[in-house]
């Protein structure tokens, strides 16, 4: 079993790494964070087989704190390990800003140099990750992450400020960072003193304006019901991040229910990439439908009650019938060119889940009234 020491365990990336490691029974995790003493750090260093060095300073009140919180603290960690004659595998988080000459970048570059000397002097295996702008759940808003700030403010109906909507961002998702870190435990084959390419972790490029537009669309989803294309991994990751900032009282929301003598109906979700889903409740003896589509296709799924679904080719006379019950979990395909209907033939309410291959467009509905029963044709 590996004993793992995580410095900065209470920070954004540290918390996410700890939460992933909790699922494993082959590691023991020791956490060190702000408020810890050198004695605490020494105790952890004395036992660690692997050290994830994530502690650092990125937005101090005094710029001098960059050097103390990044380079000097890293030097102290390496000194303690050397005094203990310990050379654990050491994985450190740095920043792509380490190539820049601003106070933060310089302090991270100095920390990298300390780690490289430690690897050279002790033979320890060191991996340094120059991380891009990392986003994800638990990141502190209104601090140093534009994603966290936009997600928090939009989720709370607060304004956001965009001075340069065309400015490009390079973003990496925290779970992708954690996945790379976990590989350092499971596949420790990297050369000693290695500076890991920023491209080792998947990243995304987009403008500040695009980022704000996507997050605003998430905020509007409860009313628009429109979900983004989640086959795009970034959309899935960004929505998960946004939702982590929504307060619990906003997790529950109602749908627009349309009622008439037949029962009621409500749309649930919509997307240009997969169409839309809606649900209906139909009273006993009531029929819905009696229409056909030229291109739109549908699926009917009765989840409670008993229904009779009938079809007739719009050029034919033969009627096809399918009896469905909620307890059977049967799905009925609705092909184009067949007029169709669904009737509640049970004694209780019929609850049906519908999927349509396209979002309903009142200007191009592709829905034409035509009774299944020829005796009802005008």
Place of tokens 């820049």: 100
Q: How far apart are CA 232 and CA 326, in angstroms?
A: 34
Residue 242's CB is within 10 A of a number of other CB atoms, namely 24
Catalytic entry in 32, 104, 129, 173: 104
3 state DSSP class of 364: coil
CB neighbourhood size of 325 (10 A): 16
CB within 8 A of 315, min separation 6: which ones?
A: 337
Report d(CA 348, CA 303) in Å as an integer: 12
Q: Cβ distance 132 to 197 under 8 Å?
A: no
Rounded distance between C-alpha atoms, residue 31 and residue 157, angstroms: 36
CB 241 within 8 A of CB 155: no
Q: Active-site residue 245, yes or no?
A: no
- Report the chain's terminal Cα–Cα distance, integer Å: 78
Total Cβ atoms within 10 A of residue 281: 19
DSSP track, 308-343: EEEEEETT---EEEEEEEGGGT-EEEE-TTEEEEEE
Q: What SS3 state is found at 150?
A: helix
- Which amino acids are annotated catalytic? 104
């Amino acid at each position: 079993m590996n004993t793992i020491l995580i410095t900065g365990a209470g920070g954004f990336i540290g918390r996410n790494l700890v939460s992933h490691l909790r699922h494993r029974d082959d590691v023991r995790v020791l956490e060190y964070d702000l408020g810890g003493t050198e004695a605490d750090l020494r105790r952890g260093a004395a036992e660690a087989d692997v050290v994830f060095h994530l502690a650092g300073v990125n937005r101090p009140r005094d710029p001098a704190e960059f050097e103390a919180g990044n380079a000097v603290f890293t030097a102290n960690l390496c000194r303690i390990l050397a005094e203990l004659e310990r050379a654990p595998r050491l994985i450190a988080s740095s920043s792509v800003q380490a190539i820049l000459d601003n106070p933060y970048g310089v302090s991270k570059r100095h920390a990298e140099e300390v780690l490289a000397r430690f690897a050279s002097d002790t033979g320890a295996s060191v991996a340094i990750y120059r991380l891009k702008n990392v986003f994800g759940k638990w990141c502190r808003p209104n601090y140093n992450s534009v994603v966290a700030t936009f997600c928090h403010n939009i989720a709370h109906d607060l304004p956001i400020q965009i001075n340069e909507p065309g400015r490009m961002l390079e973003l990496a998702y925290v779970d992708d960072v954690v996945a790379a870190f976990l590989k350092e435990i499971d596949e420790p084959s990297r050369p000693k003193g290695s500076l890991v390419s920023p491209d080792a972790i998947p990243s995304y490029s987009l403008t500040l304006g695009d980022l704000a537009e996507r997050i605003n669309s998430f905020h509007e989803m409860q009313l628009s019901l429109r979900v983004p294309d989640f086959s795009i991994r970034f959309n899935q990751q960004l929505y998960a991040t946004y939702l982590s900032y929504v307060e619990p009282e906003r997790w529950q929301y109602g749908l627009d229910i349309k009622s008439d003598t037949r029962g009621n109906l409500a749309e649930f979700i919509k997307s240009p990439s997969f169409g839309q889903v809606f649900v209906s409740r139909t009273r006993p003896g009531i029929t819905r439908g009696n229409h056909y589509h030229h291109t739109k296709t549908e699926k009917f799924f009765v989840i409670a009650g008993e229904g009779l679904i009938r079809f007739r080719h719009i050029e034919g006379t033969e009627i096809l019938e399918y009896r469905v019950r909620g307890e059977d979990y049967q799905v009925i395909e609705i092909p184009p060119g067949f007029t169709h209907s669904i009737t509640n033939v049970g004694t209780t309410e019929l609850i049906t889940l519908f999927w349509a291959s396209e979002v309903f467009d009142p200007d191009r509905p592709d829905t034409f009234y035509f009774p299944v029963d020829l005796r009802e044709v005008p």
